[in-house]
């Protein structure tokens, strides 16, 4: 399992898919299995893992029977028409259905940053920091840091108040200072929470999935 085996997709509400792995599979009755020793939210699917699942959700075992779509680079993000059917059947409307899908973008999205924390100094400036993640060759424990995996290091920071955007900033390092002057401009003297989010930016697809957290406004 820790080398990538026992991997499956589980459909999540809203059309997404969670990638999970399991240590044990026990058949409790014909065609029903109990999976235990789960690793949830793999490969950047934490948001799907946090969404309550539904009984009867689609389950796809990622074994040798599942082949990559092998999209060309120029096909990424294009709406393509696919004919889908069972292997070995005649290539006809009787055995194949037609569907239109856009593919390739999700694989290029940077993963959510983690361990977001803040500290307010004596002047009132808020210093926020986080740890980046990598989607390419990031499992090597020998190197001092994981590969960047993007053309350059960049992050999109967004501040919201009452659900509306009040500030959007890009930065090129894993820390950012929210000055007291900017906070007063955004929130005035109202005591509230700072709705903070940060996402790594890809040159190919823009900001990836964001980590969102509420900081108390002091």
HEC profile of 171-213: ECCCEEEECHHHHHHHHCCCCCEEEEEEEEEECCCEECCCEEE
pLDDT at position 23 is 96
Give the whole-angstrom CA distance, residue 86 versus residue 109: 31
Q: Could you give all domains of the chain from N- to C-terminal order, each with its CATH number?
A: 1-66 (no CATH), 67-104 (no CATH), 114-216 (2.60.40.10)
pLDDT by 10s per residue, the chain, length 218: 888 889 999 999 988 999 999 999 999 999 899 999 999 999 999 999 998 888 899 999 999 888 888 899 899 999 999 988 888 888 888 889 999 999 999 889 999 999 999 999 999 899 999 999 998 888 877 888 899 999 999 999 999 998 899 999 999 999 999 999 999 999 887 767 899 999 999 999 999 999 999 998 76
pLDDT at position 218 is 65
């Amino acid at each position: 399992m820790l080398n990538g085996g026992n991997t499956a997709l589980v459909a999540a509400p809203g059309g997404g898919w969670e990638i999970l792995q399991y240590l044990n599979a026990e058949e409790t009755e014909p065609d029903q299995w109990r999976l235990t020793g789960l690793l949830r939210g793999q490969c950047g699917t934490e948001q799907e893992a946090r969404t309550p699942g539904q009984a009867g959700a689609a389950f796809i075992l990622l074994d040798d029977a599942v082949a990559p779509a092998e999209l060309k680079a120029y096909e990424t993000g294009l709406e393509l028409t696919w004919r889908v059917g069972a292997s070995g059947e005649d290539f006809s409307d009787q055995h194949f259905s037609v569907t239109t899908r856009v593919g390739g973008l999700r694989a290029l999205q940077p993963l959510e940053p983690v361990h977001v924390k803040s500290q307010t100094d004596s002047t009132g400036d808020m210093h926020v920091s986080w740890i980046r993640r990598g989607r390419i060759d990031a499992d090597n424990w020998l190197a001092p840091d994981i590969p960047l995996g993007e053309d350059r290091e960049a992050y999109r920071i967004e501040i919201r108040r009452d659900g509306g955007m009040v500030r959007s900033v890009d930065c090129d390092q894993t820390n950012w200072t929210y000055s007291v002057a900017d906070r007063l401009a955004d929130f005035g003297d109202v005591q509230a929470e700072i709705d903070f989010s940060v996402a790594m930016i890809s040159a190919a697809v823009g900001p990836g999935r964001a980590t969102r957290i509420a900081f108390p406004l002091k």
